[in-house]
Amino acid sequence: MSGDNIIDGKAFAAEVRARVKAQVDRLVAEHGLKPGLAVVLVGEDPASQVYVRNKAKQTVECGMRSDEIRLEATATQEEVLAVVDRLNADPGIHGILVQLPLPDQIDESAVLDRIDPDKDVDGFHVVNTGRLQIGLPALTPCTPRGCMMLLHDRLGDLSGKHAVVVGRSNIVGKPMAMLLLHANCTVTIAHSRTKDLPGLCRQADIVIAAVGRPKFVQGDWIKEGAAVIDVGINRIPKEDGKTRLVGDVDFEAAVGHAGLITPVPGGVGPMTIACLLANTVTAACMAAGIPEPQVTA
């Protein structure tokens, strides 16, 4: 897939990982500090297992410590919380990620809130959420951070641009809106009850699609020359009975209108793990009182 208006997230993520590795090498050489990331996986969800495996592989490739803690799908909430408590107390672990979704018997919010905010490399803890809200330094959710890096790389200064965020989740939509606001955009958050969503999107210089519905955003919703960041990852059936990945945007219909657009796969997805690694370096530097290296654009 090629085209001047198509953002190659895979290539950009590789550049970010290379910068992360360079900073890890410097931290080890100059400070004896090896950042550590622990991932907790409960159950055997196939997609989660793939994500965890990729995270572990890329963590090690960047020179960091990688711990995987796997629990049975029948694990109790107390068992999961005990693992989080142990990782919170481990000085060699600087980042903790509990892979979602969790089994039904476990209170997701209780587990995420138990993570030390300074080790919350997913950026989901209420402390980091609040710090982001008011513009204080915070560990930022990885997917929105990756989206902002892609936008800044191709557009530079975003001041004054009208951004429409389609989706209001705590993981993507809300933090995405905050980051865009901090970049001096005019931001509209759209959702299932928004009136005339197509008309609203047609006003946008930047459209962020994060609704979890395949090909929801249509091509004629996109203003000529607008930037489109597609966060969606949806599996739809093919004629041969298999499935393929598509985003929340009808890519084939939108690519002719957009000035910039991320494909699915190969757009935002690779940036999420790259930003997780960058957040782990940030957390390690914070714990050691070392000025944060510039690992991102």
Residue type at 41? L
122 is catalytic: yes
Per-residue DSSP letters for 76-88?
Answer: -HHHHHHHHHHHH
99 is catalytic: yes
DSSP for residue 155? H
CA distance 275 to 220: 32
Selected catalytic residue, list 21, 23, 55, 174:
55
Burial class (CB in 10 A: 0-12, 13-18, 19+), 295: buried
Q: Which residues of 222-247 are buried (b: 16+ CB within 10 A; e: fewer)?
A: bbeebbbbbbbbbeeeeeeeeeeebb
CA distance 114 to 117: 8
C-beta atoms surrounding 130 within 10 Å: 12
DSSP for residue 267? S
55 is catalytic: yes
The answer to whether the annotation marks 233 as part of a ligand binding site is yes
Name the percent of the chain in helix, strand, coil, to the closest 5.
45, 15, 40
What's the residue count for the chain? 297
Selected catalytic residue, list 21, 99, 116, 215:
99
The answer to whether the annotation marks 169 as part of a ligand binding site is yes
Active site residues: 55, 99, 122
Annotated binding site: 167-169, 233
Annotated binding site for NADP(+): 167-169, 233
